[in-house]
Amino acid sequence: MNIEVVYCPGPGVCDRLLLNLPAGATVADALAASGLAERHRLPDSGLRLGVWCKPCEVHSLLRERDRVEVYRPLTVDPKEARRQRYQQHKQSLAARPKRPGPA
């Protein structure tokens, strides 16, 4: 079976491997064959995994042309990041000199 394993260690960086695994292979088999955990120093347990954007477990069976995705933890809550960007935008607008309006 042809399987793709993907991990993005940071924004704009992608580690993608194409593997040929025997029929009946699991997500754990794909991770072990890829070497991603060792290369990126990922923990042995507690990884968030998915196949084609759907969460899965390490014992899930794979099918031909599946893509195994290893998700990194969020460093900032998305709602909080949005609030911070809005505050910065608001401050930059307040710091601009005002244009004269129509007379």
Banded pLDDT at 74 (limits 50, 70, 90): confident
pLDDT tens per residue, range 36-68: 888 888 887 888 999 999 999 989 999 999 999
- Classify residue 40 as left (phi > 0), alpha (psi -120 to 50) or beta: alpha
pLDDT tens per residue, range 1-44: 999 999 998 878 899 999 999 999 999 999 999 998 888 888 87
* Nearest one of 19, 8, 15, 7 to 64, comparing CA atoms: 19
- In one-letter notation, the amino acid at residue 45 is S
Q: Which domains does the chain have, with CATH numbers?
A: 2-95 (3.10.20.30)
